[in-house]
């Protein structure tokens, strides 16, 4: 039955596309199609094993499940322990060949911790739902399916491939210098990096991801002299902490706006006193209407498209903070565990052009660049400054990070076929 399905899938390609594809590439197409049921079963097993970022044992179990898929393909698989960064670890698999190194990036963890009621894989035809099914367990299965197809076609034999699956993409460990040390090193050693987060789809069209914005957090704390409210605005008390916080946040709103930049405020508190917890998620405050507030706190995020934009905006934010109202103070602190941007580069565009050549050869529609303002940050940002990078090569779906996360199982086929041919062609460079 699987061979019949594979033959039908191959016959469904336009004759011109078959003519453009090599025999090895046709074998890869056929292998992906014939193993589709196997890949869905693997996806189900991965999804049904909870691997919320803070479920350290669960992340390791998923890593072991992936190890069992990669070792038979000739990969040397190791586990990079990240207990020093407060996380489970990363799975790093290498297969040394004679070509230029190609880095494949995904992640094992999900946002759904063990206490979340959304825990199981459920399928309805070509649509399936489950925690992390697209972000990023579907992407992990695309990688495995592509590599298995390459093995069947003989193109994996001389390929130089590194598979790097982080265990803390959703909540990066601290400090980031440790949590992403190995990934950054892998990026510097690679000729190309391919990231397997969700495929970008708009309507019926697939898009290529050549850029992603950064993601970093900031905390703003303002202070003021406290006292009876009858003295607010006078020379002795000044404006108080809450007015100072409001001035700064409104300054951000009015003065920072530019393309591809956002600076959300997620939580605010003010009073006498006000405080925020160590994780930065919960704030507390108390006070009375007739007391000038002593403390106010706001926490938000910053997303930029390039490192230059990030540095420039941070400098401007600090300048706004420094324009204090009378008798107030303020401190702006950026967290050190943010995601750098994957800036749009000509090298990244050239990779998308290579993928579009494959799309033409396989009879698939070409993919335009996706608007980076519509994508979140990803681990590809940690390597993109050192290596040409293409993202969004995972499975298509939606509702990521929410109950009801879903994927289109049919997209697994075309994504694995695209990836297998792309990795194979890139592997031939330098031979």
Tens digit of pLDDT for each residue in 249-301?
999 999 999 999 999 999 999 999 999 998 888 999 999 999 999 999 999 99
Read off the DSSP letter of residue 45: H
CA neighbor of 228 nearest in space, from 294, 295, 293, 291: 291
Question: Given this model, what pLDDT does residue 18 score?
Answer: 53
| Cβ proximity of 314 and 256 under 8 Å | no
Count Cα atoms within 13 angstroms, Cβ side, for 268: 11
Q: What is the distance between the alpha carbons of residues 408 and 126, in angstroms, rounded to a whole number?
A: 6
Cα first-last separation, the chain: 37
Cα angle at 61 between 56 and 62, to 5 degrees?
Answer: 100
Q: Are 310 and 262 in contact (CB under 8 A)?
A: no
H or E element that contains 419: helix 409-427
Q: Give the phi and the psi of residue 174 in degrees, each rounded to 5.
A: -125, 130
- Sorted by where each begins, the domain ranges of the chain are 2-212+340-427, 216-334
Percent of the chain with pLDDT over 90: 91
Residue 170 has pLDDT above 60, yes or no: yes
Q: How far apart are CA 209 and CA 358, in angstroms?
A: 16
Residues making up the chain, counted from first to last: 431
Using alpha carbons, select from 300, 314, 386, 302 the residue that is nearest to residue 343.
Answer: 386
Provide the 3-class DSSP secondary structure of residue 140. helix
Do 44 and 121 meet the contact criterion of CB atoms below 8 Å apart?
Answer: yes
287's CB contacts (< 8 A; 6+ apart) are 270, 271, 272, 293
Q: What CATH class does 216-334 carry?
A: alpha beta
Give yes or no for residue 404 having a pLDDT over 60. yes
Give me the pLDDT at residue 8, please.
44
Share of the chain above pLDDT 70, in %: 95
pLDDT at 231 over 90: yes
For residue range 173-208, list pLDDT tens digits in order.
999 999 999 999 999 999 999 999 999 999 999 999
CATH code matching the domain that covers 2-212+340-427, chosen among 3.30.70.930, 3.40.630.10, 3.40.50.1820, 3.30.420.10 = 3.40.630.10
Compute the distance between CA of residue 132 and CA of residue 405 in angstroms, rounded to an integer: 7
Please state the pTM of the whole predicted model.
0.92
CA distance 229 to 252: 27
**C-alpha distance from residue 16 to each of 336, 352, 353, 361 (Å):** 52, 21, 19, 8
């Amino acid at each position: 039955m699987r061979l019949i399905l594979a033959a039908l899938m191959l016959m469904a390609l336009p004759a011109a596309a078959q003519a453009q594809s090599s025999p090895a590439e046709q074998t890869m197409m056929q292998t992906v199609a014939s193993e589709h049921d196997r890949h869905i079963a693997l996806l189900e097993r991965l999804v049904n094993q909870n691997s919320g970022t803070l479920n350290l044992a669960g992340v390791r179990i998923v890593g072991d499940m992936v190890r069992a898929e990669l070792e038979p393909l000739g990969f040397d698989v190791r586990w990079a322990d990240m207990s020093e960064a407060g996380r489970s670890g990363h799975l790093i698999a290498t297969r040394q060949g004679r070509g230029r190194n190609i880095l494949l990036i995904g992640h094992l963890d999900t946002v759904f911790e063990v206490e979340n009621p959304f825990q199981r894989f459920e399928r309805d035809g070509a649509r399936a739902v489950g925690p992390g099914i697209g972000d990023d367990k579907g992407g992990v299965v695309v990688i495995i399916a592509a590599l298995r197809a390459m093995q069947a076609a003989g193109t994996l034999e001389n390929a130089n491939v590194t598979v790097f699956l982080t265990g803390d993409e959703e909540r990066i460990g601290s400090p980031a210098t440790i949590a992403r040390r190995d990934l950054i090193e892998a990026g510097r050693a690679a000729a190309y990096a391919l990231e397997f987060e969700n495929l970008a789809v708009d309507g019926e069209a697939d898009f290529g991801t050549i850029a992603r914005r950064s993601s970093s957090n900031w905390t703003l704390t303002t202070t003021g002299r406290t006292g009876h409210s009858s003295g607010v605005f006078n020379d002795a008390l000044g404006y108080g902490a809450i007015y100072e916080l409001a001035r700064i946040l409104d300054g951000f709103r009015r003065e920072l706006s530019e393309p591809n930049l956002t600076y959300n405020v997620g939580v605010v508190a003010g009073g006498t006193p006000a405080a925020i917890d160590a994780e930065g998620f919960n704030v507390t405050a108390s006070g009375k209407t007739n007391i000038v507030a002593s403390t106010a706190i706001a926490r938000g995020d910053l997303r930029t498209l390039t490192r230059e934009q990030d540095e420039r905006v941070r400098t401007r934010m600090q300048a706004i903070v420094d324009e204090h109202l009378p008798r107030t103070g303020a401190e702006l602190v950026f967290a050190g565990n943010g995601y750098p941007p994957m800036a749009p580069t000509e090298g990244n565009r050239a990779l998308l052009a290579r993928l579009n050549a494959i799309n033409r050869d396989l009879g698939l529609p070409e993919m335009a660049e996706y608007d980076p303002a519509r994508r979140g940050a990803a681990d590809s940002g940690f390597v993109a400054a050192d290596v040409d990078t293409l993202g969004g090569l995972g499975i298509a779906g939606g509702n990521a990070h929410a109950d009801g996360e879903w994927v289109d199982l049919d997209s697994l086929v075309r994504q694995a076929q695209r990836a297998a041919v792309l990795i194979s062609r890139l592997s031939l460079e330098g031979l």
